[in-house]
Structure 1
């Protein structure tokens, strides 16, 4: 059973330009998915962002859908939603581990993803976690995506000062000790 332990929630980020989020959900457990979606939509809208929604058959397809979307559309961030309840086979571990790992790899490539795929032992645990009036894990995943979008935008304009200099700036070439050879 879930506990009512208090935890800190970061203040909602604000944006000076529009933010567009794609919610990718597996509605395998429709009622749980609907609650996750409702929580995510409310959080996205509260931040002044817009959203679109696509459904996938299962949690394993969610990272692929996000990868395809990133290559072929213009979303700023993504919210992955679904629910995996432990069954009698090892399929549970495969789905939980592989979907989570794939989302993490996409995130490490720079995508702004909030992971709201529930991995639980029982339906009751999922119901509490998905409920927007209880643990609201859909809203939490949307908040994570929004915070990552804010961070990406904050650092988008900053340069580390490495790499090639623009044409026209003096560049010391290898073997050029007096600076006579410029790019």
Structure 2
């Protein structure tokens, strides 16, 4: 069922230092993940970030690869790209839930990542969401990683001039009538 809901997308953050991203891709549905990777590359390019690529066998291996790469210290952030299409068994639920949960746990540990693992009912839904000229979920996942990198850099800078209860952090653009946050 189509929705008329309007979605708001944040402008890409301004990053003062170079950013190195790693896309971890499970190419099981290669046409879908290739489209998502194209969207992620375009978003990374627009932000001036580099984007490396590693492929893993499936969506369940994406969090493990992200964790390994995070511990290497070579990357600022990660873009998880994969697609899980509902089949005839409960395997779909396991893969969707466990890959999402593992990525969330990595994020709670400070890993800057964008979750671009599609969980859909059919190939048509996957194509619409993967299309860089459509919903561009690969680009959205890259943007999410970039926003988290910007936030992590901002917080690690240790701003002492702002009152924590009243500070507004807006890294995607300035507040109306004010300079850049």
- What TM bracket, shorter-length normalisation? 0.7 to 0.9
- Structure-1 residue corresponding to 2:156: 156
Q: Gapped runs of 5+ residues in structure 1?
A: 161-183
CA drift of 1:73 comes to 3.7
Could you state the TM-score of these two structures normalised by the residue count of structure 2?
0.85
CA RMSD of aligned residues (A): 1.3
- Structure-1 residue corresponding to 2:138: 138
- Structure-1 residue corresponding to 2:129: 129
CA drift of 1:72 comes to 1.7
Does the residue aligned with 1:117 lie in a helix, a strand or coil?
Answer: strand
Q: Gapped runs of 5+ residues in structure 2?
A: 161-181
Hey, what's the Cα distance between the residues in 2 that align with 1:119 and 1:15? Answer: 31
- Structure-2 residue corresponding to 1:12: 12
Hey, what's the Cα distance between the residues in 1 that align with 2:69 and 2:39? Answer: 22
**Cα gap change, 1:29 to 1:63, in 2 (>3 Å):** same
Size of the alignment, in residue pairs?
Answer: 160
Query: 5 Å matches for 1:70-89?
Result: 70-89=70-89
Hey, what's the Cα distance between the residues in 1 that align with 2:88 and 2:58? Answer: 18
Could you state the TM-score of these two structures normalised by the residue count of structure 1?
0.84
Which one has a bigger Cα radius of gyration?
A: 1
**Cα gap change, 1:3 to 1:31, in 2 (>3 Å):** farther
- Structure-1 residue corresponding to 2:41: 41
Which 4+ runs in 1 deviate beyond 2 A?
1-6
- Structure-1 residue corresponding to 2:173: none
Structure 1 residue 92 corresponds to structure 2 residue 92: yes
